[in-house]
Amino acid sequence: RVRDYPVDRIAAHTYVIHGPREIASVANQGFMNNPAFVVTGEGVVVIDPGSSVQAGRMVMKQLRTVTDKPVTHVLNTHVHGDHWLGNQAVLEAYPGAVLIDRVGGLAEEWVSTVHRLSGGFTEGTRAVFPTVAIGNGEELKTGGMTFRIHAPPDAHSHTDIMIQVLEDSVVLVGDNCLFERLARLDDATFKGNIEACRVAAGLNARHYVPGHGPSGGVEIVNAYENYLATLYAEVKKHYDAGKSDFEMKDVVLAKLKPWAGWTHFNDVVGKHISLA
């Protein structure tokens, strides 16, 4: 099992395990996201139980330190396996849990990638897909709690859902928003991801849970939106002036200094300029 990480109670019913910010590695045992769970009157709703069966077992162990209620539902925010391959462990412990997402996952690529990056720690992980689809504007109501879905069409991965827990004023934004860590944007569209941040901020929630990095108020959504918008505007300006990505990199970097200390900035910013 992945080593234990603390459970942070961010609202009356909502708990988050804030995982490591770095990409999957031997050091972090392949665990790198922010699993969360909401305790309802009837059971527990889990969001993004992690990157492997080992991570999911840790999440289940930590969940049981909070409540002995069963897991009734699992919501997966998007297709990237570092968020949903822990489904396997949830069904091991709670075979009656209903797995929900917007669209099925890219399974084997993620299983093998996390296995390789973790030095084989995640051996035995297999893809357990959600069987129930959910879309924009739909709600899951269970145990006196309401989970409203916001599903921007072309944001971080083209498969994203953001989950608004109405009674707790919490929004779990998935990888549409990260904080103090930059994302892999290979499957993203900049305009769509910027719009998703604006949708999330417009919900005026008290608490926002990013896919990676610390939770906080609306300022974390604004910070990530500003990164995407600043980079995109600068790239567009220099692209329109006829510059290629490597020619504009230094001047674009100069505009991105507020984010230079974020995890993986130096690893991904060149790729982000190219993608933009």
DSSP 158: S
Q: Are 38 and 167 in contact (CB under 8 A)?
A: no
Q: Which residues of 203-220 are buried (b: 16+ CB within 10 A; e: fewer)?
A: bebebbbbbbbebbebeb
Please give the Cα distance from 28 to 7 (Å, whole number): 17
DSSP 157: S
pLDDT in tens, the chain (276 residues): 899 999 999 999 999 999 999 999 999 999 999 999 999 999 999 999 999 999 999 999 999 999 999 999 999 999 999 999 999 999 999 999 999 998 666 789 999 999 999 999 999 999 999 999 999 999 999 999 999 999 998 999 999 999 999 999 999 999 999 999 999 999 999 999 999 999 999 999 999 999 999 999 999 999 999 999 999 999 999 999 999 999 999 999 999 999 999 999 999 999 999 999
Q: Are 200 and 150 in contact (CB under 8 A)?
A: yes
Beta bridge partners of 45: 38, 73
